[in-house]
């Protein structure tokens, strides 16, 4: 759903005195910029597998590249399906000549 439509519908449903903020939906929705528009869609942490390998497989099927702020709700230990504490993430950034970059995730189990 386009972000403008989503925000309009959501703010109508939020009780008086409360402010709708995407922080409230952390781990429940993803926001994608596609062309000129921005879209919001459901992607709940509770629907992800609890095993690290399966969880990361599903996450990277959903998105090939993640920013840490978007990925964090899906891997931190206080989510509905906590990951074992022995899971470590190692990010290696590669900077390309055109100043774009991508992250490689290495799982150490």
Question: Do 53 and 107 contact (CB within 8 A), yes or no?
Answer: yes
Q: In angstroms, how far is CA 84 from the centroid of its own chain?
A: 19
11, 27, 43 - which closes a domain: 43
Do 57 and 106 lie in one domain? The reply is yes
CB burial class (10 A; 0-12, 13-18, 19+) of residue 48?
Answer: buried
Asked if 53 and 105 sit in the same domain, the reply is yes
**Enclosing domain of residue 87:** 48-109
Among 5-19, 36-50, 66-80, 92-106, the range scoring the smallest mean pLDDT is 92-106
Whether 3 and 39 share a structural domain: yes
Query: In 3D, which of 70, 73, 74, 68 has the Cα closest to residue 54?
Result: 74
Point out the least confidently predicted range of 1-15, 41-55, 59-73, 76-90: 76-90
Domain check: are 30 and 57 in the same one? no
When divided into structural domains, the chain yields a total of 2
Nearest 5°: the CA angle 13, 30, 63 is: 165
Specify whether 38 is located in the same domain as 66. no
Q: Which residue has the higher pLDDT, 76 or 8?
A: 8
């Amino acid at each position: 759903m386009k972000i403008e439509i989503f925000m309009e519908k959501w703010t109508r449903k939020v009780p008086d005195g409360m402010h709708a903020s995407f922080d409230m939906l952390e781990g429940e929705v993803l926001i994608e910029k596609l062309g000129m528009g921005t879209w919001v869609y459901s992607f709940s942490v509770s629907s992800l597998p609890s095993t690290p390998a399966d969880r990361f497989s599903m996450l990277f099927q959903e998105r090939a590249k993640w920013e840490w702020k978007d990925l964090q709700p899906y891997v931190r230990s206080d989510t509905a399906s906590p990951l074992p504490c022995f899971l470590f993430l190692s990010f290696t950034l590669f900077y390309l000549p055109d100043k774009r970059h991508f992250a490689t995730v290495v799982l150490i189990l």
